[in-house]
């Protein structure tokens, strides 16, 4: 009679142990390079979580990671490897910029829903084309989405050196949006209810990210379409037997995935820089793959992984700022090691931990193979 391992084992203990080992490996690398490891840890930790400003930045970065992580994982549930979050985010940002620059003057409670819709629309439509090509023409989603990243970035460059370029400026950036369109920061929002935070770019879209986590979770596990999405991802023959319109599911999932990626624009463009520039996505879309992997394709896992990555981003940035020997590459190093240990070597520690905790009797013969 097979009995599963206790739920906390795979969900909590294993990832924690993996991250712990990743950090040890980081420490060894930093030590080899000749950096004072205890100092580095101190700088990173206090930089990311030690002050209310640091926490603000951490959550600000985490917002981007949540959106891109959800985008990648939602597509993955339908068996689609969407590596085009980068381009979809660019398009989302473009849509928001157009509304903020040329759109009507609206109060924030109308403006925010409008920009959400536009970001979703632009990001979603950008993902619709690869989705349609995959469903009806059998083209590979990895190839098409990566091509669409290139097209998107070329399009943005063209627009920013041409029609959208801020007059009288050398840089390829758009004009700054009017202040009425800026998303309120958390500092302002919480200031209204009497909570004082240090100034940071953390803004309203963080709340949207949290809501998206809950929505994606409910969508996938509690609705019919979510069920159909997962069946399509797991077993095409089963989906056919179940009378599920796989093609429609593929397209609609890609659109939703693109919409989520498009929301990165809300945080970065409307929430922080208040103008469109060429590189505002700067790898957040690709990082979504790592986040989805670490979060085990589960929205709540993605939330936790995003906070962790946000902290690493912020802490690593502080470290690079404070220590001349450390470049920004250290962030990439740490991220890479975390992905290596939590993704590629995910099951490495499992048998050992089971032995250590004396959980052997829980393991069924079928459980022994990692799935």
Which residues here bind another protein, judged by CB under 8 A? 1-4, 218, 221-225, 227-228, 230-231, 234-235, 237-238, 240-245, 361-362, 364-366, 371
**Nearest distance, CB of residue 299 and another protein, angstroms:** 16
Q: Are 272 and 201 in contact (CB under 8 A)?
A: yes
**Nearest distance, CB of residue 4 and another protein, angstroms:** 8
Nearer CB in complex with another protein: 225/336: 225
Nearer CB in complex with another protein: 102/222: 222
What is the distance between the alpha carbons of residues 73 and 346, in angstroms, rounded to a whole number? 17
Nearer CB in complex with another protein: 154/364: 364
What is the distance between the alpha carbons of residues 250 and 257, in angstroms, rounded to a whole number? 10
Nearest CA-CA partner of 182 in 276, 272, 90, 280: 272
DSSP state of 184: P
Nearer CB in complex with another protein: 230/277: 230
**Nearest distance, CB of residue 132 and another protein, angstroms:** 20
Q: Are 200 and 185 in contact (CB under 8 A)?
A: yes
- DSSP letters for 98-111: HHHHHS----HHHH
Q: What is the 3-state secondary structure (H, E, C) of 27-42?
A: HHHHHHHCCCHHHHHH
**Nearest distance, CB of residue 296 and another protein, angstroms:** 13
Nearer CB in complex with another protein: 9/23: 9
Q: Are 321 and 43 in contact (CB under 8 A)?
A: no
**Nearest distance, CB of residue 1 and another protein, angstroms:** 4
């Amino acid at each position: 009679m097979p009995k599963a391992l206790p739920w906390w084992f795979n969900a909590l203990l294993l990832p924690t142990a993996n991250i712990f080992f990743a950090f040890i490996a980081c420490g060894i690398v930093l030590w080899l390079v000749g950096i004072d490891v205890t100092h580095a840890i101190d700088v990173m930790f206090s930089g990311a979580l030690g002050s209310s400003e640091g926490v603000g930045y951490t959550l600000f970065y985490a917002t981007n990671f949540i959106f891109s992580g959800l985008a990648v994982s939602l597509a993955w549930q339908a068996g689609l490897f969407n590596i085009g979050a980068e381009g979809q985010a660019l398009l989302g940002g473009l849509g928001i910029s157009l509304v903020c620059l040329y759109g009507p003057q609206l109060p924030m409670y109308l403006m925010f829903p409008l920009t959400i819709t536009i970001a979703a629309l632009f990001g979603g439509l950008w993902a619709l084309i690869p989705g349609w090509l995959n469903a009806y023409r059998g083209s590979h989603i990895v190839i098409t989405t990566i091509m669409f990243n290139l097209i998107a970035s070329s399009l943005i460059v063209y627009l920013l050196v041409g029609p959208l370029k801020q007059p009288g400026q050398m840089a390829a950036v758009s004009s700054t949006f009017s202040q009425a369109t800026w998303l309120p920061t958390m500092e302002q929002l919480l200031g209204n209810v009497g909570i004082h935070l240090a100034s940071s770019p953390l803004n309203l879209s963080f709340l949207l990210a949290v809501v998206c986590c809950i929505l994606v979770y409910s969508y996938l596990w509690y609705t019919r379409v979510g069920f159909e999405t997962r069946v399509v991802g797991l077993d095409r023959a089963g989906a056919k037997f179940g009378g599920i319109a796989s093609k429609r599911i593929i397209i609609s999932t890609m659109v939703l995935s693109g919409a989520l990626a498009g929301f990165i624009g809300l945080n970065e463009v409307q929430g922080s820089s208040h103008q469109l520039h060429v590189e505002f996505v700067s790898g957040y879309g690709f990082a979504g793959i790592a986040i989805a992997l670490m979060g085990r394709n589960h929205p709540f896992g993605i939330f936790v992984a995003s906070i962790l990555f946000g902290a690493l981003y912020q802490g690593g940035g502080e470290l690079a700022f404070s220590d001349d020997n450390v470049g920004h590459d250290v962030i990439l190093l740490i991220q890479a090691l975390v992905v290596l240990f939590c993704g590629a070597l995910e099951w490495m520690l499992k048998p050992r931990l089971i032995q250590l905790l004396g959980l052997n009797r829980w393991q069924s013969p079928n459980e022994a193979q990692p799935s």
